[in-house]
Amino acid sequence: MILDRYFARRFLQSFMVIGGIFLTLMILIDLIEQIRRFDDFDLSFAQLLHLTLLNTPAAISEMLPLLVILSTIALFVGLARTSELVVTRATGRSGIRALVAPVLLSLIIGTLAVALLNPIAAATSEEFRRLSDSYRNNGSSALSISSEGLWLRQSAENGQAVIHARATSNQDKLRLDGVTVITFGRDGKPTQQIVADRAELEGGNWVLSKAKVWALQDGQNPESNSVAHERLELPTSLTRQRIMDTLGQQDSVSVYDLPQLISDLREAGFSTKQYEVWLQVQLARPFFLISMVLIGAAFTMRHVRFGGTGIAVLTAVLLGFAIYFVRNFAQILGENGQLPIYIAAWAPPFAAILLSLGLLLHAEDG
């Protein structure tokens, strides 16, 4: 138990030190990137730093596998250089037994990443996108999905327009059914209401079919001045790709909100595969971090007198990157429907765990 606490403390120290170094570098690099992106906009240093800090939780979440495998390598290379692993084995304790503390810590880190870091990263990523869009386009558009349908906000000729649709279809071209549009002037007051059977996005316009327009002006009866149109074009700055990209940003939704969002998307007529895969990938994250610990240990739990420490470290890092790539590739296949959702999310981490355990057992028992 004392040894387990010692190994856990060494692992945690390595994790904090490496994490601090990467966090500092990441903030500096991202700050430079924000300065470059908004070079043509009149933003203060405080605003740029705010954007950078909003981007930080998501970047930390993405870097966790690298931090864990580097922490594992630092732990066992350090133990090997001080011959502490040799002493541990001499007491009759298996080298694999020394992995209990790092594995448990990685499980805790992964669980905290899912339960706490993921919601924080989702909220800050959404705020980052909102502020970026606001700085670039004066907050011209927004999109949300609820059980009541699809809601869009876009810039209008003299203000803003809010579009609501009860259902959507995105087979060939984006189509909205049961459409209601309310336009607002620059003073924030509604100027007109439009109700249409459907709206299709064509070029730079929403083409409304069987639309009726009511002018909302003080002192006038909207119904008496209403006008019916068989076809009506409403200019928009939105594109189908932009709307689909917005819908595809799973990292802006926390794991707690994903089940409801999946249900709402399904009711609204959108595909939910990418969100379902993303949810399972997040739930499998603790096991993926465990696989990083085992991979790092498989190549570094050896005495330095055998030589080749640099090669072993490089091999562990490259194999970690390979597993990370395989996981992302499987996620893409799952989102495209070419792999079952659970296999796409859970197979890579468990395959990596079994592979690394095989290497460890071979190294320990021959």
Is there a domain that residue 78 lies in?
yes
The percent of residues in the chain predicted with pLDDT above 70, rounded, is 86
Is there a domain that residue 243 lies in?
no
264-288 pLDDT, tens digit per residue, is 777 766 678 888 999 999 999 999 9
Domain match, 130 and 18 both: yes
Q: Which pLDDT score is estimated for 171?
A: 55
**CATH no. for residue 199?**
2.60.450.10
46-57 pLDDT, tens digit per residue, is 989 999 999 999
Domain match, 176 and 60 both: no
In whole angstroms, what is the distance from residue 77 CA to residue 317 CA? Answer: 13
Domain match, 160 and 278 both: no
Closest Cα to residue 67, out of 343, 331, 254, 292?
A: 292
289-306 pLDDT, tens digit per residue, is 999 999 998 888 776 666
Across the range 192-202, mean pLDDT stands at 87
Closest Cα to residue 282, out of 166, 119, 148?
A: 119
- Where does a domain end: 237, 260, 278? 237
Q: Which pLDDT score is estimated for 147?
A: 60
Is there a domain that residue 166 lies in?
yes
Domain match, 14 and 122 both: yes
Domain match, 14 and 119 both: yes
66-121 pLDDT, tens digit per residue, is 999 999 999 988 887 887 777 777 776 777 788 888 999 999 999 999 999 999 99
Domain match, 231 and 107 both: no
Q: What total number of domains does the chain contain? A: 2
Is there a domain that residue 89 lies in?
yes
Does pLDDT of 219 surpass 70? no
Domain match, 132 and 146 both: no
Domain match, 150 and 132 both: no
In whole angstroms, what is the distance from residue 3 CA to residue 7 CA? Answer: 6
Domain match, 127 and 146 both: no
336-363 pLDDT, tens digit per residue, is 889 999 999 999 999 999 999 888 888 7
Q: Cβ–Cβ contacts within 10 Å for residue 48, how many?
A: 20
Is there a domain that residue 27 lies in?
yes
Domain match, 210 and 287 both: no
Is there a domain that residue 244 lies in?
no
Domain match, 231 and 293 both: no
In whole angstroms, what is the distance from residue 157 CA to residue 43 CA? Answer: 26
Across the range 4-12, mean pLDDT stands at 89
| Higher pLDDT pick, 87 / 45 | 45
Residue pair 69/293 in contact (Cβ under 8 Å)? The answer is yes
Is there a domain that residue 80 lies in?
yes
Helices 285-300, 273-283: crossing angle, 10 deg rounding: 50
Is there a domain that residue 224 lies in?
yes
| Higher pLDDT pick, 254 / 2 | 254
Residue pair 197/180 in contact (Cβ under 8 Å)? The answer is no
Domain extent for 158: 142-237
Domain match, 121 and 37 both: yes
Q: Please, what is the average pLDDT of the chain?
A: 84
Across the range 315-328, mean pLDDT stands at 92
Tokens of 233: 């074009």
| Higher pLDDT pick, 244 / 263 | 263
